Amino acid sequence: MAAFSAFKLLPPHPIPIRSTSSKPSIPFLSSSSHLSIHPSKTSISSSSSSSRLRPLHAAPSDLLADKTNLGPAPVISRDVALELYEDMVLGRSFEDMCAQMYYKGKMFGFVHLYNGQEAVSTGFIKLLKKADSVVSTYRDHVHALSKGVPARAVMAELFGKATGCCRGQGGSMHIFSAEHGLLGGFAFIGEGIPVATGAAFTSKYRREVLKESDCDLVTVAFFGDGTCNNGQFFECLNMAALWKLPIVFVVENNLWAIGMSHLRATSDPEIWKKGPAFGMPGVHVDGMDVLKVREVAKEAIERARRGEGPSLVECETYRFRGHSLADPDELRNRDEKAHYASRDPILALKKYILEHNLATESELKAIEMKIDDVIEDAVEFADSSPLPPRSQLLENVFADPKGFGLGPDGKYRCEDPKFTQGTAQV
Amino acid sequence: MAILHPCVGSVYREVPCSVPPTNCLLWGSSLPGAVPDMRMTVADALNSALDEEMSADPKVFLIGEEVGENQGAYKISKGLLEKYGPERVIDTPVTEAGFTGMGVGAAYYGLRPVVEFMTFNFSMQAIDHIINSAAKSNYTSGGQMSAPIVFRGPNGASAGLGAEHNQCYAAWYAACPGLKVLSPYSSEDARGLLKAAIRDPDPVVFLENEFLYGESFPVSAEVLDSSFCLPIGKAKIEREGKDVTITAFSKMVGYALQAADILSKEGINAEVINLRSIRPLDRATINASVRKTNRLVTVEEGFPQHGVGAEICASVIEDSFHYLVAPVERISAADVPMPYAINLERMALPQVTFYQIYLIKYEEKHVN
């Protein structure tokens, strides 16, 4: 309880204006702010005069106080470093290939790319078990890849082929994988949050009612800054805190909801503050730094697993591309984009790995080439896969196909062989 | 199949009895075809169905506003909190979108939620989750995420509550692929269809009616059995006839039966079909009936345009056009938001006397 009461004690302060040290379009949120939600660290640093412009925060963790002051020892092992690097490179290469394929006409509709936000996906999802759940939005390709859905299956789904993870019936915005615990893939913003709350509820129900005492599964819900003004978000913050559900709410605050700037849309833009209002810890973290994200994620996920309830984590991140491939992206300032491009999470991790001698340049290059092969293989697989057959149109509407009812002859429609061939009247 | 004896223990518990049914004075004869002696209100029917399903499967849970400590806004969940505890009978804050979506998320993982809406008017705040997260998910996930969830609550007109508490949602939900939409009339319907809905692996919208809750209907021993289920997608012919087919669901079935009685005094023998299942619609039964009677009247409590009657009319015209001797007559609510004043409210809803207006029109058309 000490952790979030520390946040509740924060005195109100005027809505922060943009930081004076940077260009007007770059928000006030400091680039290296970091908050620890470890229960033992409750001291509040209400220090400097600059606190009027910066959010007040609890004492930062000893490990990553400041990016430039890294201690001599790396915080992760070589294996973990390479795993994180590979995952982020996979995400980036996959999305770049999606863009190419879209412009070639192999993919269609709405495609929302994740370039620049890889640190959030990798930072959180690589800490989860296979049976844990991830709920995403329409910007879900990289969440799927991080969770373990094969690149082939995702690419084939985007091409609309029968071998896709949803048999070609879902598309870019509806990537589901029951096997990997990826619950979509939702087109409406905010739609995934109650579903994630339900998945977390199931974990608690299984433990308490179905008596599966070892069920400690956690759900991580990803959504954006625009969603944080939506009613469902608040409804679920309330219920998750009320019933202490094992869920982590992760805000990927990339500052833009299509063309609506977060600062224009939100009365109080500091999203992490909304956590304590509902009785859970609210944390803000630099979402361009995978190690910081991973540190916060570990705490939040473990807190949920222990049964202590939900957390709200706001990751300040950025999408290098437009909202979708159809978005001309005219409203965002070039300087803002340059600022975040210079903080590319993949390059940052690469620098960290080389500086701490966790791997050599050539080993990293080998990983990049391996990923290139994986992506090429995925494209070839998707290209050569067949389109769904005509008979698939009527499949999977119901789990029980008798739901199509009785035909005029009094027999169930689904028993008519012409039904599955796609020639029967619907 | 055990026979439930009201003389021994609660009607909800199966208790073996050594007295053969034919000798039992309380039951009378419970041989097949015998007139049943038990009566049960629709509210009790729903309560017993919920109780039995929750007892049989620990994955079934009830979630909604007022369902627990307040025993249900209409007392349908009476006694369930006490019996199953707060983990399985969950009182929620006033957050339809939130708790409906939460139910869907739980259903993705194989739990079997029964989500109660205090009235289906409130489901509009959660309709995104009913349609997009529940109904469409099995399809968009290619068969991976089915949602065995039931959305239930009172639907249709209330009394004196004005426009926002009176809409019938049968037509809206029945338009959506991936959903099953049921609407019971009698206690037998209520028990059988709710049990079928809870056991069904797909999302089911279960439209009850506030006024029917207190009405009691005869129920046979078979209906009271805990394994009693009605098939989804089959209508019931409540009254056989040969001159005109009247289709109705929920409360309107009662009105249709009353109207049929009035018509029979005028020498018109009406066949009344209780739809039971709005989606899938039992087109076979409806068409077979129209082919027999050659005339069709559809009755519903919802708005006329794009209503359930419109779909039945289209189905009959497509499949049985040449059997019709008169245009199909649709009886529905007036095309206005429900007014508050008692007399206006009466005028806005189908009344049994409207059948008499139809009767006049019928005679006009009948005379050739």
Bridge partner list, B90: B63
- Mutation site for A-interface testing, chosen from B129, B144, B234 by largest number of A Cβ within 10 Å: B144
Confidence class of residue A71 from pLDDT cuts 50, 70 and 90?
low
Measured CA to CA, the distance from residue A411 to residue B282 in angstroms comes to 10
Q: For A154-163, A415-424, B254-263, which range has the lowest pLDDT when averaged over its residues?
A: A415-424
Confidence class of residue A425 from pLDDT cuts 50, 70 and 90?
low
**pTM of the model as a whole:** 0.81
Give the pLDDT score at A167.
93
Give me the amino acid identity at A379: V
Helix, strand and coil content of chain B, in percent to the nearest 5, comes to 40, 15, 45
Nearest-by-CA chain B residue for A196: B105
Residues of A in contact with B128 (CB under 8 A): 188, 191
| pLDDT exceeds cutoff 70 at B360 | no
CB contact under 8 A, B132 and A408: no
DSSP A112-157: ---TT-HHHHHHHHTTS-TTSEEE--S--HHHHHHHT--HHHHHHH
Nearest neighbour of A398 by CB, restricted to B98, B111, B202: B202
Q: Is B96 a catalytic residue?
A: yes
Q: How far is CA A293 from CA A56, A217, A275, B117, B313, in A?
A: 19, 20, 17, 40, 60
Measured CA to CA, the distance from residue B318 to residue B287 in angstroms comes to 10
Nearest neighbour of A197 by CB, restricted to B105, B146, B288: B105
DSSP state of A267: S
pLDDT, tens digit (0-9, with 9 covering 90-100), for A277-310: 999 999 999 999 999 999 999 999 999 999 999 9
pLDDT, tens digit (0-9, with 9 covering 90-100), for B251-302: 999 999 999 998 998 899 999 999 999 999 999 999 999 999 999 999 999 9
Nearest neighbour of B101 by CB, restricted to A170, A198, A208: A198
Measured CA to CA, the distance from residue B239 to residue B246 in angstroms comes to 10
- Mutation site for A-interface testing, chosen from B61, B89, B141 by largest number of A Cβ within 10 Å: B141
Give B132→chain A minimum CA distance, Å: 9
The ipTM is: 0.77
Residues A357-366: contacts with CB under 8 Å, at least 24 apart: A358/A74, A358/A76, A358/A77, A358/A78, A358/A81, A358/A82, A359/A78, A359/A81, A359/A82, A359/A85, A363/A82, A364/A85
Q: Nearest-CA neighbor of B252 among B231, B270, B276, B283?
A: B276
Give the pLDDT score at B163.
85
Are the CB atoms for B239 and B270 separated by under 8 Å?
Answer: yes
pLDDT, tens digit (0-9, with 9 covering 90-100), for B99-150: 999 999 999 999 999 999 999 999 999 999 999 999 999 999 999 999 999 9
Q: For A109-113, A217-221, A235-239, B247-251, which range has the lowest pLDDT when averaged over its residues?
A: A109-113
Give A178→chain B minimum CA distance, Å: 6
Nearest neighbour of A188 by CB, restricted to B92, B128, B201: B128
Give the pLDDT score at A330.
85
CB contact under 8 A, B201 and A210: no
Nearest-by-CA chain B residue for A180: B144
| pLDDT exceeds cutoff 60 at A325 | yes
Comparing A211 with A48, the larger pLDDT belongs to A211
H or E segment and range at residue B178: none
The 3-state secondary structure of A16-30 reads CCCCCCCCCCCCCCC
Q: What six digits make up the tokens of A274?
A: 């909304």
Considering the candidates B52, B65, B96, B210, report the single residue annotated as catalytic: B96
Give B181→chain A minimum CA distance, Å: 10
> 3-class SS at B195?
helix
Domains of chain B as residue ranges with CATH? 25-224 (3.40.50.970), 236-366 (3.40.50.920)
How many CA atoms does the CB half-sphere of B360 hold within 13 Å?
4
Give, in degrees to the nearest 5, the angle at Cα A322 between A316 and A318: 10
Confidence class of residue A43 from pLDDT cuts 50, 70 and 90?
very low
> 3-class SS at A292?
helix
Q: How much of chain A, in percent, has pLDDT values that exceed 90? A: 67
pLDDT, tens digit (0-9, with 9 covering 90-100), for A140-157: 999 999 999 999 999 999
Q: Is B165 a catalytic residue?
A: yes
